[in-house]
Structure 1
Amino acid sequence: MIRLALVGPLDSVRLIQEVAAERRDMIEAVPMVYQDAGQVAAILAEREREADVWLFSGKVPYSHAMNARSAGKPFFYIPHTGTSLYRALLQITYIEKKAIESISFDTFSRREIEEAFADIELQMPSAYINYYEGIVSAKEMTEFHYDLWQNGKIQAAVTCFLSTYLELKEKGVPAFRIWPTRENIRMMLDIAVSASEAIRFKLSQIAVQIVEIDGYGDFVRDAMSAYAVQRVEIKVNDLLVDYAERVRGSTVTHGNGRYVIYSTRGIVDEVTRNFTVMPLLEEFIRQLDVSISGGIGFGTTAHAAEKNAHIALGLARRQGRGKWMVVLDDRSVVGPLNSATHLRYDLRSDDAQSRDLAQRLGISVTTLNRLLAAVAKLDKGSFAADDLALYLSMTTRNARRLLAGLVEQGLASVTGEEAVTKGRPRKLYTLLTRELTDFTRNKASSDTPADKNGIDSYTSSGL
């Protein structure tokens, strides 16, 4: 049974609930009514745990939700398509029998309105349209329609906002309300059910976490005694048992400073806050004199999850000691956890264009993907080589060489210099995103040798 939040004004929620009752064998409707869409953020904060999937009555409450969302659960809204307009247009023409020469609309684009009139073979009147993206208030919409009415520019108003509709009616404006159609409601209910099933499948994936004491051989050689080694191993094991309890998993000790934890993706996702933090790291740092690295892998089978965990551990080693990385079932990489340089990127590429570009730059496909993710994360127009080096876990010298290659290929430019305390000024670079996109689309080389699956070995070194 899927717990589906129905969020919107009372009349819309009642209609959606009525249609959802047709699927009562699969859907447990959780109505959440607001007076104003500005209340959506508060509803989310107070009632987030009550639903698995959230369905909003329209674009406005959905935009408020997307602006306030924390993580995880899927959000959908019922679109107001051309079919939603038909009811209002038919009400104006055939029920009210009004000859409208000028009318105002909100939410819909001009094209949608023109097509709706064409579909029911009505002459398109003079139309004033407030089509918006993102968050907009009912007050703004009310003022839009009412100002036009007061200035004699319209004879009627069509709105998707309940409070706007009620206020316009109260002020004597011939107003007509857009409702979601049952057809659109059923379509979005089907999508919500499918999304929930897909999420449940993903959350049930097997999670394997491989944990190891960094430099175990050196640690054993440098230890005061075998007892000192055992004491550290006992502490590590105790911490891992506590963590395994949190993720409802089981631990296996492999010896030589290596441990494996088996659990499921859903609880690991929750404990790591969508793969951004590793709670164990702080405990390891606080209680141990050795550093601990880890790789987390997911898969539909234990073999696939363990393979991804090994890849993740190899990537963690390349980041340095005490690092944790994640490899998802689609071979995308997330990490390092608990780090300001946390990135999400693809481990492989299935297209020849990316492999060709990587070869021209003398780097791996993985590094190319990390480069693009790092530049996006830097979130500024220009950056220096040492900024990039920090994200890519490479020396500043190698980062300069990489950027020089991009400049040579016409995919980056030197945009200036930045004075530093000592030495010569740092060069500032800008990645030319459009040129990079065009390059990867158009400059694939048919004779480029490439790995069959475009995956870097987690044991490889260098760039």
Structure 2
Amino acid sequence: MPTKIAVISSLAFRDRLLSIAQEMENIQLEFYIYKMPDETPQLMKQIKPCDVLLLSGTLPYLYAKPLLSDWPIPWTYLKQDEVAISTSILSVLANQNLQLSQLSIDVMNAQHIKNVFNDIQYEGALPFIQEINMERPFDQIYQKHKQLWLNDKIKFVITSIHSVYDALTADEVPAMRMHDPNSSIIHCLEQTMALSKMTKSESARAVVGMLEFSQSTEDDQLVLQQIVEATHASYQKIDDHHFELFTTFGHIQNAFQHHLVESFFNITKDPIKLTFGYGGSILEAQKNARQALNFATPNVVYIMNENKELQGPFPNQPTILSLQTKDPYILQMAKETKLSPLNISKIMAFSVSRQSLQFTAVDLAEYLQVTRRSTERILKKLVEHGYAKVIGEEMSYHQGRPRAIYELNFSTYH
């Protein structure tokens, strides 16, 4: 399956990236285009299920930064560096027959330009340099470039901001966009694909859990089943009070992220101890989980990682998964599809928890813990309103109709 990359970029960068990416295999680009980079946070809310997010430059990255700490999939961005700056300056000098002192340049970090000149031991007159500041309106940068040109102090502008380039060219001020070399873009795409694969590999790491009941009660089986479902685990019974769970790192992270762990402790009044162990092998993870159990306190979760670091207790402030939501996006979907906001939230969590973007009704039914018929009714409503689409059929070696393969068609990263 190709790596599906969501790209937030300008229209000009999209065209360039498409021309470069067509030479690469196993890559699928989905674009979210801004007119101004400050639109990036809003575009992030529109991203449909994908493997990894690529921000096309430092500016969209800086606008996205407050959201990235909680972003559920891997992300990266194309950094402006000395290579892009030196390539752009060389292009102007070679094609425009100008002196460096006749240029005006805006960059994310002025030190990068100084590094370029230091590397080539240049000691002549410098170009006019503007360092981009997030607090400074882009129009001020544009006006500074234009004023230098009107005063005949410069002959050409190199800008890192696409909207500034558009404004300058509209005023017939000679200008070019900062030029990222093809090799840098290819390298960035390769790194983005590698990041996606590495994250999937990390998510598939084996995790072992230890569940200890203080005494046998009628609620034990219900608690065990809830934990197994929330963490997508298999289990084995050690004795009447101890069970061993087997799952993956990705499923554990998803359970914590979507507050699926807290509800375990509300089922019974009797104390429960729950720990998880991470490791390079199942045996190591098993050993760490058992060691963590020695430090565990009732009704919270502790984790022992491969570095023998005890993490916890989780959660620090217990919360219960709300049956209501104030998210207008989810409420609008619920109104259109006649599905409950809770079901839509669960479908979003289902999407984020999976490594594959494609799924069957059986996959979703197992996650929602409802019948296949109920799941097919949910999917029918999503398809009818354009929130999901059928992309194929699963080959079947048994009698009966083939299973449809679905892909969600709405943003699940809320």
User: Normalising TM by the smaller chain, what interval?
Assistant: 0.5 to 0.7
Match of 1:323 among 271, 282, 300: 300
SS at match of 2:180: coil
Which stretches in structure 1 are left out of the alignment for 5+ residues? 221-228, 342-463
What's 2:201 paired with? 201
SS at match of 1:252: strand
- 8 Å CA contact 1:207, 1:297 repeated in 2: yes
What's 1:253 paired with? 237
Give 1:102 deviation, angstroms: 4.0
Question: What TM-score does the superposition give when structure 2 sets the normalisation length?
Answer: 0.68
Give 1:2 deviation, angstroms: 1.7
What's 1:174 paired with? 174
Residue by residue, what CA displacement relative to the aligned partner does 1:413-446 show, whole Å, maximum 9, x if unpaired?
A: xxxxxxxxxxxxxxxxxxxxxxxxxxxxxxxxxx
Give 1:256 deviation, angstroms: 3.9
What's 1:298 paired with? 278
Is structure 2 residue 225 aligned with structure 1 residue 244?
no
- C-alpha separation between the residues in 2 aligned to 1:56 and 1:38? 12
What's 1:160 paired with? 160
SS at match of 1:55: strand
Give 1:94 deviation, angstroms: 3.4
Flag the 1:239–1:32 CA change in 2: closer, same or farther, 3 A. Answer: same
What's 2:7 paired with? 6
Give 1:291 deviation, angstroms: 1.8
- C-alpha separation between the residues in 2 aligned to 1:315 and 1:141? 58
SS at match of 1:315: coil
- C-alpha separation between the residues in 1 aligned to 2:149 and 2:177? 16
What's 1:309 paired with? 289
What's 2:57 paired with? 58
SS at match of 1:46: coil
What's 1:267 paired with? 251
- C-alpha separation between the residues in 2 aligned to 1:158 and 1:84? 11
- C-alpha separation between the residues in 2 aligned to 1:144 and 1:237? 71
% identity of equivalent residues: 19
- C-alpha separation between the residues in 2 aligned to 1:246 and 1:322? 16
Q: Which amino acid aligns with 1:160?
A: S
Is structure 2 residue 314 aligned with structure 1 residue 337?
yes
Flag the 1:65–1:311 CA change in 2: closer, same or farther, 3 A. Answer: farther
Q: Which amino acid aligns with 1:279?
A: L
Flag the 1:102–1:332 CA change in 2: closer, same or farther, 3 A. Answer: farther
Is structure 2 residue 110 aligned with structure 1 residue 95?
no
- C-alpha separation between the residues in 2 aligned to 1:72 and 1:61? 18
Segment drifting more, 35-44 vs 84-93: 84-93
Residue by residue, what CA displacement relative to the aligned partner does 1:234-260 show, whole Å, maximum 9, x if unpaired?
A: 312213213312322212232242222
Q: Which amino acid aligns with 1:2?
A: T
Is structure 2 residue 31 aligned with structure 1 residue 31?
yes
- 8 Å CA contact 2:227, 2:264 repeated in 1: no
Residue by residue, what CA displacement relative to the aligned partner does 1:51-79 show, whole Å, maximum 9, x if unpaired?
A: 22222221111122222222342222222
What's 1:68 paired with? 67
Flag the 1:257–1:278 CA change in 2: closer, same or farther, 3 A. Answer: farther
Tell me which structure has the larger Cα radius of gyration.
1
Flag the 1:246–1:55 CA change in 2: closer, same or farther, 3 A. Answer: same
- 8 Å CA contact 1:79, 1:180 repeated in 2: no
Residue by residue, what CA displacement relative to the aligned partner does 1:153-206 show, whole Å, maximum 9, x if unpaired?
A: 544321111111111222343322112211111221222222222212111111
SS at match of 1:23: coil
Flag the 1:39–1:339 CA change in 2: closer, same or farther, 3 A. Answer: same
- C-alpha separation between the residues in 2 aligned to 1:149 and 1:315? 69
Give 1:8 deviation, angstroms: 1.0
Segment drifting more, 13-22 vs 157-166: 13-22
- C-alpha separation between the residues in 2 aligned to 1:32 and 1:98? 37
- C-alpha separation between the residues in 2 aligned to 1:197 and 1:135? 36
Matches within 5 A, 1:85-234: 85-99=85-99, 101-116=101-116, 124-132=124-132, 138-146=138-146, 148-149=148-149, 154-213=154-213, 216=214, 229=216, 232=217, 234=218
Is structure 2 residue 42 aligned with structure 1 residue 42?
yes
Give 1:296 deviation, angstroms: 1.1
Flag the 1:89–1:144 CA change in 2: closer, same or farther, 3 A. Answer: same
- C-alpha separation between the residues in 2 aligned to 1:136 and 1:258? 60
- 8 Å CA contact 2:278, 2:288 repeated in 1: yes
Is structure 2 residue 20 aligned with structure 1 residue 19?
yes
Give 1:115 deviation, angstroms: 4.8
Segment drifting more, 304-313 vs 115-124: 115-124
Segment drifting more, 159-168 vs 323-332: 323-332
Flag the 1:17–1:258 CA change in 2: closer, same or farther, 3 A. Answer: same
Residue by residue, what CA displacement relative to the aligned partner does 1:392-413 show, whole Å, maximum 9, x if unpaired?
A: xxxxxxxxxxxxxxxxxxxxxx
- 8 Å CA contact 2:211, 2:272 repeated in 1: yes
- 8 Å CA contact 2:255, 2:261 repeated in 1: no
- 8 Å CA contact 2:100, 2:127 repeated in 1: no
SS at match of 1:176: strand
- 8 Å CA contact 1:60, 1:136 repeated in 2: no
Flag the 1:327–1:178 CA change in 2: closer, same or farther, 3 A. Answer: same
- C-alpha separation between the residues in 1 aligned to 2:259 and 2:91? 58
Flag the 1:124–1:62 CA change in 2: closer, same or farther, 3 A. Answer: farther
Which stretches in structure 2 are left out of the alignment for 5+ residues? 319-414
- C-alpha separation between the residues in 2 aligned to 1:140 and 1:337? 48
Residue by residue, what CA displacement relative to the aligned partner does 1:344-385 show, whole Å, maximum 9, x if unpaired?
A: xxxxxxxxxxxxxxxxxxxxxxxxxxxxxxxxxxxxxxxxxx
- C-alpha separation between the residues in 1 aligned to 2:293 and 2:148? 63
What's 1:282 paired with? 263
Give 1:85 deviation, angstroms: 2.8
- C-alpha separation between the residues in 2 aligned to 1:136 and 1:53? 30
- RMSD over aligned CA atoms reads 2.9
Flag the 1:190–1:91 CA change in 2: closer, same or farther, 3 A. Answer: closer
Flag the 1:325–1:278 CA change in 2: closer, same or farther, 3 A. Answer: farther
- 8 Å CA contact 1:100, 1:155 repeated in 2: no
Give 1:30 deviation, angstroms: 2.0
